Amino acid sequence: MANDYHEPAQEMSEKARDIIRMMNSFKEEIEAVDWYHQRCELTSDPEAKEIMWHNAVEEMEHAMMCLEWLRRNQDGWDGQMRKYLFTSKPIMELEEGEEDQEAEDPKDGLGIGQL
Ligand SMILES: [Fe+2]
Ligand SMILES: [Fe+2]
């Protein structure tokens, strides 16, 4: 849909448009998790809560399918996931570790290597 774009869609590659489709799908799945989560928080009916939590977890499944597709198809995701996911270290220390490495690089202060 036209409102998915912030730049002229006709100038984008089919691959770029597929990435935009998947990012929008990912946002929609996250939004669905949010809606179910909020309803689960407030319902007084235990069976309704159980059904809606079941549905919330299925939306998480859908969201992760989108994210995995993005990891495989758009540069950047894989490295960030490898850095931040499935570790028990404090999250902010993971980025600090990277900055320490950059600061130790004698070639340049920005840590971008020699261009
Ligand atoms: Fe289900
Ligand atoms: Fe879904």
Q: What percent of the chain has pLDDT over 90?
A: 78
Mean pLDDT computed over 90-103: 74
Average pLDDT, the chain: 88
Read off φ and ψ for residue 83, nearest 5 degrees. Answer: -80, -40
For residue 59, the ligand closest to its alpha carbon is 2
79: DSSP letter: H
**CA 57 / ligand 2 centre spacing (Å):** 9
Are 46 and 101 in contact by the 8 Å Cβ rule? The answer is no
Higher pLDDT, 48 or 102: 48
**CA 81 / ligand 2 centre spacing (Å):** 22
In the predicted model, is pLDDT for residue 7 greater than 90?
yes
**CA 61 / ligand 1 centre spacing (Å):** 10
pLDDT of residue 67: 98
pLDDT of residue 107: 46
Are 29 and 63 in contact by the 8 Å Cβ rule? The answer is yes
pLDDT of residue 98: 66
In the predicted model, is pLDDT for residue 1 greater than 70?
no
**CA 106 / ligand 2 centre spacing (Å):** 48
Secondary structure of 61-78 as H, E, C letters: HHHHHHHHHHHHHCCCHH
Mean pLDDT computed over 36-45: 98
> Domain residue spans in the chain?
11-104
